[in-house]
Amino acid sequence: MPGQYKLLARFCAAARDNQVVFLTEPGKPDIPGIHKAEYSAPPELPEQFARRLSSLNLVKFSQNIMASQNARESCRNLKNKGFVPDIIVGHLGWGSGLFLKDVFPDTPVLNYADYFFAPNGADQTFLNNRDASDHDRARRRIINTAALFALTESDWCVTSTFYQRNVHPDVFHPKISVLHDGIDTDNVAPDPDAVFKLPNGKILSRADEVITYISPVFEPHRGFPQFMEAVDILLKERPQCHVVVVGKKGGRGYGLPANKDSPGYLQEMLSRFRPDNTRFHLTGPLSHDRMVKVMQISSAHIYLTIPFVLSWSILEAMAAGCVVIGSDTGPVQEVITHGSNGLLANFFSPEDIAASAASALDNREAMEDIRRNARQTVLDQYAFKTVLPLHLGLINDLAAGRIPPPTRKAIRLLHKKPPQSD
């Protein structure tokens, strides 16, 4: 909480006639105008069971079921107090909504279909370039179990990108609309006068050569090793260049942990390359406002990802008018057209990434069109004020029993050139 619904939930709660309840695990933030209904997080399994179930991800599946049961009981309490929703809007990935139809059988469900883990290929094999083993495929199928149950129970679904929709089984595509949750383009916008104060006190602005990179955790899924190799090249070749890196210094992230004896990918890369700490700046996590300042002073923003969920950060960087150096992977190719609204580089080539960033630094005037086009792309297809009427249309359609929802046709028109037919 609020996850993908940080903007939509606030907007719905602001309407006088709406009553919005957010069902969530304990410890999440309060949102003005929204009633927070909590359900207990699933307990840790006893070690003897966890050890026997862990190899096939059955621990996670068991916890999904327990979370679903706890969420169901919280909903029964709401119903006993007289609350019956007109519509349930949820996230189907973690299983907490599996049993809600047992409490509210007549309430339509609109679910967010985040990601479906392909048994082979895609994010499973991209980094190691090998087929998955039978054991790996089995683990992935079990990861998807809760999502599969939720897909069958959903009256309709949305997902943020065509890439994310297309990794789901084809049979579900007809009821998944591609509609991003929305970028706040009023608060994330270019500012040529922006400055950013570094932890060491130095102040950077658009007049400086600034390479930026943002990730919650530094990990291979987001191309961190390749980024660091590219940075090593740039810092050696460009004595005026500064690199600003935003994110948490520890943590596992989406992918596999670093070697068991390693302190983590960040420390591994710092030990390997030893960047000049007068020009390589680790900020740690930042408030959203300060993170936007980093984007606004950026000369070239590097965003790398394996075939996986597209981060909010790339769209926010585009909204802020950044020149994005993106990886030539499916999710990024969906939003960036090379040379028009950004630059694409080979995910596996630090040399290509560094050369693209250097080109952006050397051709600042030529990059102004790219900056404008990047923001326009977000305004046209991903801005919250653009997608909000479509989200509300889906909600109103489903609440009125219009299934399939007529709004799906307007959503298709939002993407003028979708990667694949919707």
User: Which tens digit of pLDDT belongs to each residue from 164-174?
Assistant: 999 999 999 99
Residue type at 16? Answer: R
CATH of the domain at 269: 3.40.50.2000
Alpha carbon of 192 to those of 69, 92, 203, 294, 355: distances in Å?
51, 41, 14, 12, 25
Question: Does the pLDDT value for residue 57 go beyond 80?
Answer: no
Query: What's the pLDDT score for residue 13?
Result: 92
Q: What is the pLDDT of residue 47?
A: 64
Three-state DSSP class for residue 1: coil
Q: Which domain holds residue 236?
A: 195-381
- Section 122-127 average pLDDT: 81
The token duo for 276 is 């000049």
User: Do 263 and 396 belong together in one domain?
Assistant: no
* Residues 297, 281 share a domain: yes
Say if strands 156-159 and 109-112 run parallel, antiparallel, or are unpaired: parallel
Cβ pair 217, 248 in contact under 8 A: yes
pLDDT tens digits along 224-263 = 999 999 999 999 999 999 999 999 877 666 665 556 566 6
Residue 305 lies in a domain: yes
Q: What is the pLDDT of residue 417?
A: 56
Question: Do 109 and 74 reside in the same domain of the chain?
Answer: yes
Is the same domain home to 11 and 98?
yes
Q: What region does 223 belong to: left with phi over 0, alpha with psi -120 to 50, or beta? A: left
The alpha carbon torsion through 44, 48, 49, 53 (nearest 10 deg) reads 110
57-91 core/surface letters (b: 16 or more CB in 10 A; e: else): bbbbbbbbbbbbbbbbebbeebeeeeeebebbbbb
Q: Is residue 287 part of a domain?
A: yes
pLDDT of residue 40: 86
Q: Which of 116, 88, 177, 150 is nearest to 405 (CA)?
A: 177
Same domain membership, residue 17 and residue 104? yes
Distance CA 105, CA 85 (A): 11
pLDDT of residue 52: 58
Pull the structure tokens for residue 237. 């070749």
Specify the pairing of strand 241-248 against strand 343-345: unpaired
- Nearest CA among 68, 65, 67, 41 for reference residue 53: 65
- Report the alpha-carbon distance of residue 245 to residue 281 in Å, rounded: 6
Is 188 among the domain residues?
no
Q: Is the pLDDT of residue 422 over 50?
A: no
Calpha distance 194→190 (Å, rounded) = 9
Same domain as 77, residue 217: no
Q: What is the pLDDT of residues 302-324, one digit of tens each?
A: 999 999 999 999 999 999 999 99
3-state class (DSSP) for residue 212: strand
Cβ-contact 306, 328 below 8 angstroms:
no
Helix (H) or strand (E) holding 210, with range, is strand 209-217
Q: Are residues 234 and 207 in the same domain?
A: yes
Q: Do residues 362 and 354 make contact, with C-beta atoms less than 8 angstroms apart? A: no
The candidate with the shortest Cα–Cα distance to 378, out of 319, 320, 300, 311, is 319
pLDDT at 421: 40
Structural domain count, the chain: 2
Same domain, 282 and 316: yes
Measured CA to CA, the distance from residue 5 to residue 23 in angstroms comes to: 12
Q: What's the confidence (pLDDT) of residue 418?
A: 52
Query: pLDDT class for 144, splitting at 50, 70, 90?
Result: confident
64-103 pLDDT, tens digit per residue, is 888 899 999 999 999 999 999 999 999 877 778 889 999 9
Domain annotation covers residue 42: yes
Residues 226 and 240 in one domain: yes
The answer to the question of residue 420 being in a domain is no
Task: Choose between 40 and 163: higher pLDDT.
Answer: 163
Domain for residue 419, yes or no?
Answer: no
Together in a domain, 225 and 322: yes
- pLDDT tens figures, 192-206: 999 999 999 999 999
Assess whether 366 and 277 both reside in one domain.
Answer: yes
* Residue 190 within any structural domain of the chain: no
Verify that 129 and 274 share a domain, yes or no.
no
Q: Are strands 88-91 and 34-38 parallel, antiparallel or unpaired?
A: unpaired
422 belongs to a structural domain: no
